[in-house]
Amino acid sequence: MRAAILTSGGDAPGMNACIRAVVRGCLAKEIDIFGIRQGYEGMYTDNIYRMDVSSVADIIHRGGTILRTARSDRFMHEEGRTEAAAFLEGYGIDALVVIGGNGSLTGAHELSQLSNVRIFGVPATIDNDLAYTDYSIGFDTAVNTVVNAIGNIRDTSSSLGRTTVIEVMGRHCGDIALHAGLAGGAETVIVPEAPYDIDVICQNIRTGVERGKLHSIILKAEGIGLSTQALAEILQLKTGCETKTVILGYIQRGGSPTARDRVLASRLGFRVSQLINENAPSCCVGVRGENIVEVPFEEAMQMKKEPPLEFLRICETLL
Ligand code: F6P
């Protein structure tokens, strides 16, 4: 049996741990495994190589992806996906493992409809915006990176008595902000999925100052429709508190994966190698509670993400 593996879209810490688990899990079952570099794009440039045990040595702790990644425009079109299917069939590939986020797994689903190659989707995105799984690979590391940043920013904000608006990633999903806000003790968390009231935020800042609070941390997800700079200017104008901004940006996507991400990546990757070996049909793997689950693409891609908005109320009460 022959399998191939690629990583696609934005990289996420833990992708390497997952590649390692898929490759070594397959080799243990005597399945030939090929790496495709640069995501779906590698199928158009013949960027494929045979992997062995040593190909994945010393990578479990590394951020990024040894297979590199890309956002492929060509794969977005049906013609491009048909070419990709022909490429896989040309190499005699029986199963393809796609490690990536929402867009990448949507593409994997579309490819599975055009091809007899079995496709297995593994959720890896710091955004945690895939509804069918509780967590995606990379999310925990990103949240920890943000929590550490909040700690550093709080030190300097307190020293100077400032309000700081911190912007975190997540595209249209507020999960990073909600988890990091709760763990980092942010006074206010603003996410795309819930309305917010600038006057209430200003009132909270004023109340904090009155009771001797030295800083205010406002954690804002990137997709709320108001720029971080504009929000800071409004807050400064309305409260009279000096207000600074920090956009954490790509720092959230890099770094060594946490133990939690490595465990998740290894479990998901190992499960996929079993599914390949068992001749299981195409599906996405994920985690619900403590259990690894398999969900048909059709169902997984239709599910609507429900962020833990109750975290907002907890933050508001504990501020
Ligand atoms: O990987 C997810 C993500 O980081 C989003 O949060 C963000 O909007 C996007 O990717 C930006 O990535 P890029 O600039 O690489 O397209």
- Taking the CA of residue 125 as reference, the ligand 1 atom at the shortest distance is 1
Tokens of 285: 């793997």
Question: Is-contact 124 100, C-beta < 8 A?
Answer: yes
Q: Which of 11, 32, 127, 129 is catalytic?
A: 127
What three-state secondary structure class fits 243?
strand
DSSP state of 194: S
Determine which residue's CA is closest to atom 13 belonging to ligand 1.
Answer: 10
Mean pLDDT, all residues of the chain = 97
For the CA of 71, the nearest atom of ligand 1: 16
Q: Which amino acid is at 132?
A: Y
- Class of the CATH-defined domain 2-138+257-302: alpha beta
Ligand 1 atom closest to residue 173's alpha carbon, by position in its atom list: 6
- Determine phi and psi for 129, rounding to 5 degrees: -100, 15
Pairwise CA distance, residues 39 & 79, whole Å: 17
Residue 173 burial (CB count, 10 A): 26
Helices (H), the chain: 15-28, 78-90, 102-114, 139-160, 175-184, 198-210, 228-239, 259-277, 297-302, 310-318
Residues of the chain with confidence (pLDDT) below 50: none
Tell me the CA–centroid distance for residue 174 and ligand 1, in Å.
Answer: 13
Fold that domain 141-253 belongs to in CATH: Rossmann fold (3.40.50)
Q: What per-residue confidence (pLDDT) applies to 24?
A: 98
Give the residue, out of 8, 71, 105, 169, with the most ligand 1 atoms within 8 A of its beta carbon, to mutate for a pocket test.
169
The pLDDT value given to residue 172: 94
What is the per-residue pLDDT for 231?
Answer: 98
Residue 52 bears catalytic tag: no
* Atom 9 of ligand 1: nearest residue by CA position: 171
Q: Which of 171, 175, 176, 191 to mutate to test the pocket of ligand 1 (most atoms within 8 A of CB)?
A: 171
- Confidence (pLDDT) at 319: 80
Atom of ligand 1 nearest to the CA of 138: 1
Residue intervals of the chain classified under CATH 3.40.50.450 are 2-138+257-302
pLDDT for the residue numbered 268: 98
Report the predicted TM-score, pTM, of the whole model to 2 decimal places.
Answer: 0.97
Long-range contacts of 276-279 (CB under 8 A, 24+ apart): 276/1, 276/3, 276/26, 276/29, 276/31, 276/94, 276/95, 276/97, 276/118, 276/120, 277/1, 277/26, 277/29, 277/31, 279/118
SS (H, E, C) 29-77: CCCEEEEECCHHHHHCCCCEEECCHHHHCCCCCCCCCCCCCCCCCHHHC
Task: Measure 125 CA to ligand 1 centroid, in angstroms.
Answer: 9
From CA 194, how far away is CA 175, in angstroms rounded?
Answer: 12
In this prediction, residue 271 carries a pLDDT of 98
What pLDDT is recorded for position 222? Answer: 97
Question: For ligand 1, is residue 100 a contact (CB within 6 Å)?
Answer: no
13 lines ligand 1 (CB under 6 A): no
Buried b (16+ CB within 10 A) or exposed e, 100-119: bbbbbbbbbbbbbeebebbb
